[in-house]
Structures are given as structure tokens and as C-alpha cells.
Amino acid sequence: VFEELRKKEKLAVVGQMAAAIGHEIRNPLSSLKGFTQLQQERYPNTNDFYPIMIQEIDRINSIVNDLMYLGKPKAIELEKASIEEIIAYTLSITQQQAEMLGVTVETIIEGPLSQIDCDDKQLKQVFINLLKNAIEAMPEGGKIKIRVKVSKEHKMLISIEDEGCGIAEENILNIGEPFYTTKKDGTGLGLMVTNQIIKDHKGKFSIQSRLEKGTKVEVELPINQKLSK
């Protein structure tokens, strides 16, 4: 119970902080990005650092977004969407990082899939977070398998399996704690946001891991639920 309370307090602090500074950071950041892109267009070939600058601005932006999301989770807006398209989008976003680390991703779609009722923007965020974690767990390269199928209970099951560093047993309870990270420049916010979004979708999330062997995360989502509109 105390543990829960402590978590809630931490979250409240994060929330207040996010509300107070989120917007303030986002606006100047977006003009910074705009002008950087403009410079890049004006002076192509003169500065190879523009792509990195833009990438880093995006990174700050996504940290701010995570903080703001945790402070004030958005109401989900359910619409029919294709899970294959959501995953394809996720792969396009993470492709560069995967290639850089020598990570390959195989997507295995088992059987015909129906569209699911979801907030596709938010689900994209979920799979980006999970895929990034899988990629970052394999700095020396490796393979990720994404499996998608519909269960007998008519749920969408998505698993993401990597062959990365894994999670030590004594650390597994820390996963999803605000700011828990083992990475040099991690934020420890990704899985919290992920968890929250899946919960909002009335779905389930589980994680199995073996140190030095790899990690498998599973997401289960209802296919049909009441549309909010």
C-alpha cells in the first residue's frame, strides 16, 4: 500500500511539473525545429549536423510529450484502425535507429486480422516505445520478432521479442516505475506511458525476460469496444 502511495505521489509531482512547464517548452521548441529545417533547406550540404539537430529536438519533444501525457492523460478517441498499418508506421519511425545498431525486425502476421477500435495515435506511441526498448536492448545488433494474431477470445495479441540484454530478476519490479531507467540517456517514462495507454484501451500488458537472453513483451487489446463518439 505504501509502495502504491509513493508511486502516486511521485506521479502527482511529475504531473504538476509537466503541466507547469510542458507548454512553455513546446512552443519555443517547435519554432527552433522550424528554423532548423529552414536552414537545412537553404543551405543543403553545408552542415551535416542539421539532421542530428532535428533528431535531438524531436527527442526533447517526445520527452516533454511523455511528461505532459503522464500529468494529464488524454481521453482516448476510439476509431477503427488497421493494426498492420500502425505497426508499419512504427517500423518506419524506428528503422533508422535499428539500422544503425544492426538490428533487423521481422513481422509475422498470423491469419487474417480485423480492424480494431483504438486511438491509433496513442497505439503508435505504445509500439514505438516498445520497439525502441527492444532495439536499445541490442546495441550489438540482433533480431526482433513482432507477432500479431487474433486470439480465440477475439482479442488482438501483439508480441515483441528481442534477443537483447534482458532484465535482471531483481529489477523486474522496477519496470514501469516513474524515471526507472538503466540507460545512460533514458528517461524511464516510456513504459509508464505505454502502460497507461494500454490500460485506457482496456488492454493488458505483460513482460517476460531473461538476463542476457532477451525480452518478450505482450500486448492484448480488445478488438471491439464502444466507440466514444
* Rounded Cα gap, residues 175 and 179, in angstroms: 9
The distance in angstroms from the start CA to the end CA of the chain is: 37
Min dist. Cβ of residue 171 to Mg ion (A)? 14
The option from ligand ADP, Mg ion, none interacting with 126 (CB < 5 to 8 A, set by class) reads none
Residue 62 contacts ligand ADP per CB under 6 A: no
Per CB under 6 A, does 180 bind ligand ADP?
Answer: yes
Q: Report, in angstroms and rounded to the nearest whole number, the Rg of the chain calculated over CA atoms.
A: 19
3-state DSSP assignment of residue 139: coil
Q: How many CB atoms lie within 10 A of CB 99?
A: 12
Quick check: 7 and 177 in contact, CB under 8 A? yes
Which of ligand ADP, Mg ion, none does residue 137 bind to, with CB < 5 to 8 Å depending on kind? ligand ADP
Of the candidate residues 162, 219, 220, 223, the single one contacting ligand ADP (CB under 6 A): 162
Q: Is 215 a binder of ligand ADP (CB under 6 A)?
A: yes
Element (H, E) at 70: helix 50-71
Residue 97 contacts ligand ADP per CB under 6 A: no
Closest CA to 97 of 144, 49, 42, 38: 144
Binding site for Mg ion (CB under 5 A): 133, 190
Q: Does 14 bind ligand ADP (CB under 6 A)?
A: no
Angle at 157 between CA 162 and CA 183, to 5 degrees: 35
Establish if 188 lies at the interface with ligand ADP (CB under 6 A): yes
Q: Taking the complex as a whole, how short is the minimal distance between the CB of residue 35 and ligand ADP, in angstroms?
A: 28
Q: Choosing among Mg ion, ligand ADP, none, which partner's interface includes residue 165 (Cβ < 5 to 8 Å by kind)?
A: ligand ADP
Query: Which span (73-81, 93-101, 108-116, 176-184) binds ligand ADP, by CB under 6 A?
Result: 176-184
**Which partner, Mg ion, ligand ADP, none, binds residue 71 by CB below 5 to 8 Å per kind?**
none
Q: Is residue 94 near ligand ADP by the rule CB under 6 A?
A: no
CB-nearer residue toward Mg ion: 27 or 96:
96
| Cα dist from 47 to 5, 52, 54, 96, whole Å | 50, 10, 12, 20
* Cell digits of residue 131: 520497439
Residue 68: what residue type?
M
Binding site for ligand ADP (CB under 6 A): 129, 133-134, 137, 162, 164-167, 175, 180-183, 186-191, 215
